């Protein structure tokens, strides 16, 4: 891999471009690490019972849609957030991943997976809450978990 820095006094803010033949696991990992340096928040404004809470993203197990609302789940509580899932996908770091049309998962909170012929269920440590991974996202989830395990 070649690494090159070009200094340009006209450049207003740093910009990184990755040139690659294909999207390999190495390129994907570099991309995610750069995204995490991009000033992403470590807390999210959440709401419950007319109160506003600032919840650490590390404590969130998953986000899911319920009707027209997006709910952030921690081990013991659920909060509403003022974002749509696609907005959260752009806002959150690479530790979060969409696993179905209606769910984004915190990869660092996964405790166990139950796989069957028809689906995959995700379990979290010290919580009764579980979510299902749709078939469309299952292989991507497996790849990301294997990546985390090997790094």
pLDDT at 55: 95
pLDDT mean across residues, the chain: 88
pLDDT at 102: 96
pLDDT at 37: 66
Q: Give the lowest-confidence range in 52-61, 66-75, 87-96.
A: 87-96
**Helical (H) or strand (E) element with 86:** helix 85-91
Mean pLDDT to the nearest integer, 61-66:
96
| Bridge partner list, 53 | 46
Tell me the whole-structure pTM to 2 decimals.
0.72
User: What does the alpha-carbon distance between residue 14 and residue 12 come to, in Å, rounded to a whole number?
Assistant: 7
User: What does the alpha-carbon distance between residue 144 and residue 67 come to, in Å, rounded to a whole number?
Assistant: 29
Tell me which residue of 90, 88, 91 sits closest to 62, measured CA to CA. Answer: 88
Mean pLDDT to the nearest integer, 8-17:
84
Domains and CATH numbers, the chain: 40-150 (2.40.50.1020)
Helix, strand, coil shares of the chain, percent, nearest 5, are: 25, 35, 40
pLDDT at 128: 94
What tokens were used for 106? Answer: 């915190």
Q: pLDDT band at residue 145, thresholds of 50, 70 and 90?
A: confident
pLDDT at 116: 82
C-beta separation of 46 from 52 below 8 A: yes
DSSP assignments along 88-108, one per residue:
HHHHS-TTEEEEETTEEEEGG
């Amino acid at each position: 891999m070649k690494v090159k820095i070009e200094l340009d006094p006209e450049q207003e803010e740093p910009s990184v471009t990755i040139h690659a033949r294909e999207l390999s696991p190495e390129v994907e990992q570099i991309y995610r690490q750069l995204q995490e340096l991009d000033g992403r928040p470590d807390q999210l404004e959440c709401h419950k019972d007319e109160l506003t809470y600032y919840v650490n993203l590390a404590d969130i197990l998953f986000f899911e849609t319920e009707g027209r609302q997006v709910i952030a789940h921690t081990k013991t509580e659920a909060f509403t957030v003022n974002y749509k899932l696609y907005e959260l996908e752009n806002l959150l770091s690479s530790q979060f991943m969409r696993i179905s049309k209606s769910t984004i998962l915190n990869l660092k909170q996964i405790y166990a997976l139950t796989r069957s012929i028809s689906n995959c269920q995700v379990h979290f440590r010290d919580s009764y809450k579980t979510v299902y991974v749709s078939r469309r996202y299952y292989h991507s989830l497996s790849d990301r978990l294997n990546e985390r395990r090997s790094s």
